Amino acid sequence: MKKVIITAFTALVLFSCQNDQTADSSGSEAAAAKATLRSCATQDVLEAQLKADPTLAIRMNEIEAFTNKTLLTGKLVNGKIQIPVVVNVLYRTTAENISNAQIQSQIDVLNKDFNAQNSDYNSVPALFAGVKANVGISFVLDQVIRKSTTKTSWGTNDAMKKTAQGGLAPTSPTTKLNLWACTIGGGILGYAQFPGGASSTDGVVIDSKYFGLSGSANAPYNLGRTGTHEVGHWMNLRHIWGDATCGSDLVSDTPTHNTANYGIPAYPHYSTCSGTPVEMTMNYMDYTDDAGMYMFSNGQKNRMAAIFVSGGARYSFGQP
């Protein structure tokens, strides 16, 4: 297992998750349906965020320092955290206007995945059984807001979160998790804002084709795990490979990965990184298909919990 390493890269605020084979700007449904891989345009998004807000790196480093101090003291949240969720649906077509049932299915997936109630939780290999975690955070659907639009796609510049650009502004973003369901375009599945970003753009965007379990959800991303992955980012988790060859995700009990994994890798999948021969490919923060990811680690659980303590970046979400 690797040591936690803090680098300047912790300033990354936004991850934009996309299908590697459909990274063109068209974002057509036909192209997206053919995609089999996901990847992230992290560098472009990072540069855009830092250019737009020069203080972002400072805030992110402060949050990282607070997180590490909290983990060292062991003063994490006592009791269960329940987060109200507002879902903002932006639609042009009937398929984009996802049903309440499909929306609820995504909330149900989040509750199962973050509480070790997912049916594949017991599929975690024995090697990682000692670190698999019940995160203990639950979600409740608070409100669904719908808006018809003429836009065919929204991109990753947060236009869907801005009324002036035809989107829907977040509702009570300091106390409620806002999700946007819309066609993002470019084959992109979803993206999330890390703690430290502006409240006016805080939340998670998920393409309506990969939202929840039913309706327009497209295999192999039809099990709601895009939502789980992105909410993980919203709760301060990094990609498990640290967005670098043998990089760090700032968590001590996840093995160092060579890079992202795709599809459903056969177990054991070996790393060539020093000291960590078997990769945790079934972790929600890897890039496997929905059916290939089904666990968080205890280290990830503690990292998420740290942002909800007094003084933490998302403390307000944990209050009654």
Active centre residues (catalytic):
230
- Compute the distance between CA of residue 256 and CA of residue 251 in angstroms, rounded to an integer: 10
List CB contacts of 17: < 8 A, sequence separation 6 or more.
38, 39, 40, 188, 189, 190, 191, 226, 229, 230, 287
- Helices in the chain by DSSP H: which ranges? 29-34, 42-52, 56-73, 100-113, 126-129, 225-234, 298-306
Asked whether the bond before 220 is cis by omega within 30 degrees of 0, the reply is yes
CA atoms within 13 A on the CB side of 296: 32
State how far the Cα of 105 lies from the Cα of 205, in Å rounded to an integer. Answer: 16
- Residues forming beta bridges with residue 178, ordered by sequence position: 86
Q: Taking Cα atoms as reference points, which of 286, 153, 188 lies closest to residue 228?
A: 286
* Encoded tokens for 114: 């973050």
Identify whether the C-beta of residue 259 lies closer than 8 Å to the C-beta of residue 239.
Answer: no
- DSSP letter at 263 equals S
